[in-house]
Amino acid sequence: MSKIPKMITLLEASELSGLSYDRLRKLCLDGKVVHIRSGRKFLINADKLAEYLNHGDTDASNAFDHETELCSCEEGSYNG
């Protein structure tokens, strides 16, 4: 039988994590944190939030690496 995940509100997640309510809401809207919506209320999977906070956003580090590759022009060679 599957374990039922512990779901917490944005306010509870904010108090536990130290992140602001608005930041957590943005993470939900961006699909970075596993959550469900019940009407207008967001319920966050507490275990998945802990994973996200411990490991960060792997997509962001990949985007940074890609951005650095795009900006690897030599100093003084800009012709703009």
Structural domain boundaries enclosing 21: 7-70
Q: 1 lies in a domain?
A: no
Domain tally for the chain? 1
Instruction: Specify if 31 maps to a domain.
Output: yes
| pLDDT per residue of the chain (80 residues) written in tens, 0 to 9 | 789 999 999 999 999 999 999 999 999 999 999 999 999 999 999 999 999 999 987 665 444 443 434 444 444 544 44
CA dihedral (68, 55, 17, 35) positive or negative: positive
Task: List CB contacts of 47: < 8 A, sequence separation 6 or more.
Answer: 5, 6
| β-bridge partners, 35 | 44
